[in-house]
Homo-oligomer: A and B are copies of this chain.
Amino acid sequence: MAEPNRTTCIGDYLVDRLAAHGVGHVFGVPGDFVLALMSKMTAPGSPIRLVNTCDEQGAGFAADAYARVRGLGAVCVTYGVGGLKIANTTGQAFAEESPVVVISGAPGMGERVRHPALHHKVRRFDDQLRVFERLTVAQAVLDDAGTAAREIDRVLEAALRHKRPVYIELPRDMVEAEIEVGAPVARPVEESEPNSLAAALAEATERLRAARQPVLVLGVEAARFGLMEDVLRFVEGTGIPIAETLLGKSAVNNEHPQYIGVYAGKMGQEATWRYVESSDCVILLGTALTDVEMGGFTAEIDPARTIHATRGRLAIGYHIFERVQLTDFVRGLAEAGLPRFAAADAPYTPVLGPPPEIDPATPITVDRVFARLVEYLTPGVVVIADPGDALFGAADLPVERGTGFLSPAYYASLGFAVPASIGAGLADPTVRPLVLVGDGAFQMTGQELATAVRYGVAPVVIVLNNDGYATERFICDGPFNDVLRWEYWKMPEVLGAGKGYRVETDGELGEALGAAFGDDSVYSIIDVRLGRFDVSAGLRRLAARLR
């Protein structure tokens, strides 16, 4: 018997559907066009907690991180001054396949007709919608009570299916509009064409059976599309070694016996890239071969020896297969009954562990920072790295947990890490976020530590303080790469909460890390004073190769 229709209002329905898809927190900044909807979110009995950030940019990054950990995230802002502030964070979510629901309040339909010159408006009432058409995979303006429920369903379903951001605009006079809600409509799901799938699997398994040294390189889609169960069946059955791309890092537990490190062209460890590049059958799974992931195009992988499978394209050598779903292909590999390869020559030795003895008086260096961190990487820690040398250095860190590593390793928007730590910490309250951030990036969004204080998230924040944009100094240096030297460790004085540490020696770092990880009641900020040209091993390798 069909469920009877029930009556609700647009605002409540939207909140309920988000919660039904596992969204427990929505990040945002208020403004008059969204106050009615925010009142729904904060009403007694609301299934959602609204998290106020300092700036909308912080909300956008936090929602992105939340989505990566939880499978769906949401950011809620006002019209114009709120929505346009998160164009960039939404662009990043698109590029890196993170399903973020962008919810914007908007002028009421009634007031738009009466008054064209309403505040927060650029030129036309649809400017913001048109901007987000470029940055999201589905959009809805909820200006019709007759279609609003179906529109919400359609757009949320698109976010979940495509793992990309979507846009919902809710005029403020529609929040309370009454709607009738029936059973959700089942939408057709894309399926593989059986013969194409069978042909692809036959060709792939034939190559694998003939291979001497096959290797799997996992990209971001492995985790995003929930492929890891089949991936592990496949590799554990065959003994094939596993590498990861930078953006895919932590899809697999880095302590897995078959794990051989991050493959990122010549930026990665030599043992890893030698193994991958000398393989006679490389399986690239769920990666778009971005410039960052390919180590600034220092990667040398022969397409003729490659099986490259992504959600949109499957290539085996120079054969392109159409209509093969990534999930079906991976499951097919897992169930193909492939023989066991000798993986004994897997070359991984974790270069960063165990850490060297503390030498109290030695000036601190980037290398020592990353070496020292290894001992704190328990399974409860999520490493969140800002782009730049924080990311390059973190590539070698052994991370045990799925989604234990978050970084915008393709789109590479500076300022992600601090707000992302709030999203990650709220998405999974059992984790402790460890933030690695450059000084330049910290100056963009570091104020969001205030949000961490307010909502009880306690990241350990390591500021790699080297007076500027260190990565850029290697490309083209000039005064534009300098930033003002702040006393980052004094942030707690301004925020009225937190613990700050100033670190100039190896000994001071050891003490600061011990204290920071020993106190999970509040954030800690460790201001690590580095030399201006002291960079990670990864960046040194890359620079040496590109010269």
Contacts and interface: CB of A to CB of B under 8 A. Distances in A.
Contacts of A289: 117
Given A35-B476, A54-B443, A127 B493 contact: no
Interface stretch (A271-279, A368-376, A405-413): A405-413
A547 interface: no
A446 B443 contact: no
A111 B289 CA distance: 14
Nearest to A39: B478
A221 B88 CA distance: 31
Contacts of A359: none
A42 interface: yes
Contact of A496 (B94, B476, B486): B486
A135 B122 contact: yes
Contacts of A443: 54-55, 447, 450
B486 A411 contact: no
A334 to B, nearest CB: 27
Contacts of A331: none
A121 interface: yes
A496 B483 CA distance: 13
Interface string A118-129: 111111000100
Contact of A57 (B57, B115, B451): B57
A263 to B, nearest CB: 15
Interface stretch (A79-87, A317-325, A377-385, A419-427): A79-87
A119 B32 contact: no
Interface string A86-100: 011001101100000
B486 A35 contact: no
B476 A487 contact: no
B121 A411 contact: yes
B81 A88 contact: yes
A6 interface: no
Interface stretch (A140-148, A178-186, A290-298, A533-541): A290-298
A415 interface: yes
A308 to B, nearest CB: 12
A472 B39 CA distance: 12
A206 to B, nearest CB: 29
B496 A117 contact: no
Contacts of A446: 447
A176 interface: no
A360 to B, nearest CB: 26
A42 B478 contact: yes
A415 B164 CA distance: 29
A196 B297 CA distance: 64
Interface string A227-241: 000000000000000
A480 B117 contact: no
A119 B410 contact: yes
A9 interface: no
Nearest to A88: B84
Interface of A: 28, 30-32, 35-36, 38-39, 42, 50, 52, 54-55, 57, 80-81, 84-85, 87-88, 91-92, 94-95, 115, 117-123, 127, 130-131, 134-135, 288-292, 297, 410-415, 443-447, 450-451, 453-454, 469, 472, 475-476, 478-488, 490-491, 493-496
Given A91-B127, A443-B447, 18 more contacts: A38-B480, A39-B476, A52-B479, A55-B415, A80-B413, A81-B88, A81-B412, A87-B87, A95-B121, A118-B290, A119-B292, A119-B410, A446-B447, A447-B447, A450-B484, A486-B495, A493-B493, A493-B494
15 contacts: A38-B478, A52-B480, A55-B57, A55-B415, A57-B85, A84-B87, A94-B122, A115-B291, A117-B289, A117-B410, A130-B134, A446-B447, A450-B484, A487-B493, A487-B494
